[in-house]
């Protein structure tokens, strides 16, 4: 009941603003938005990680697992929206150093829009960074999705 009331309030408020533009992240959200807000401009702008449909290269994973040295990717948000306090991040890095883990930093947030024609290439470039890792420590949804896709250890 409450959900229906909130949905109707949202529909009423949004539809009162004909200049409002909505961007959705996937086809399901796009369909819902179009049904709720028929008078608004709605664009489906899929997240590039959702375009990942290339199979994982099992040979790369096997080669990675043969290494003796553990290579950890640190994939934290580089902005103020990170849920992990700086002090906790620094403690984590200190623990990695104390235990002689090799690690590197990588940010999945790109500083430019990705053209549709470049999505597959961009995803491949990002995946190659993950292939070089044995484990990922992340506060990013994309970092987690890529780590799962690449069958990496993840925190």
Give, to the nearest 10 degrees, the angle between helix 119-131 and helix 141-149: 70
pLDDT for 41 beyond 50: yes
pLDDT for 39 beyond 60: yes
Structural domains present in the chain: 2-46 (no CATH), 49-154 (3.40.50)
Percentage of the chain exceeding pLDDT 70: 83
Give, to the nearest 10 degrees, the angle between helix 27-36 and helix 2-15: 70
Q: Which residue has the higher pLDDT, 53 or 98?
A: 98
Q: What's the pLDDT score for residue 85?
A: 83
Surface-to-core class of residue 55, CB atoms within 10 Å of its CB (0-12 exposed, 13-18 middle, 19+ buried): exposed
In the structure, what pLDDT confidence band is assigned to residue 58 with cuts at 50, 70 and 90? Answer: very low
pTM equals: 0.55
Nearest-5° Cα angle at 132, 129 to 134: 120
Nearest-5° Cα angle at 111, 106 to 114: 105
Mean predicted confidence (pLDDT) in 95-109: 83
In the structure, what pLDDT confidence band is assigned to residue 47 with cuts at 50, 70 and 90? Answer: low
């Amino acid at each position: 009941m409450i959900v229906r009331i909130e949905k109707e309030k949202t529909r009423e408020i949004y539809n009162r603003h004909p200049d409002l533009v909505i961007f959705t992240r996937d086809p399901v959200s796009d369909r819902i938005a179009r049904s709720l807000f028929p008078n608004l401009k709605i664009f489906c702008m899929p997240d590039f990680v959702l375009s990942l449909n290339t199979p994982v290269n099992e040979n790369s994973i096997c080669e990675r697992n043969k290494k003796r040295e553990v290579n950890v990717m640190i994939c934290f948000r580089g902005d103020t929206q990170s849920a992990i306090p700086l002090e906790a991040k620094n403690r984590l890095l200190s623990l990695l150093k104390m235990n002689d883990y090799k690690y590197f930093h990588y940010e999945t947030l790109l500083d430019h829009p990705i053209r549709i024609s470049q999505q597959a290439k961009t995803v491949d470039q990002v995946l190659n960074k993950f292939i070089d890792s044995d484990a990922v420590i992340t506060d990013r949804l994309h970092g987690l999705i890529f780590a799962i896709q690449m069958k990496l250890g993840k925190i």
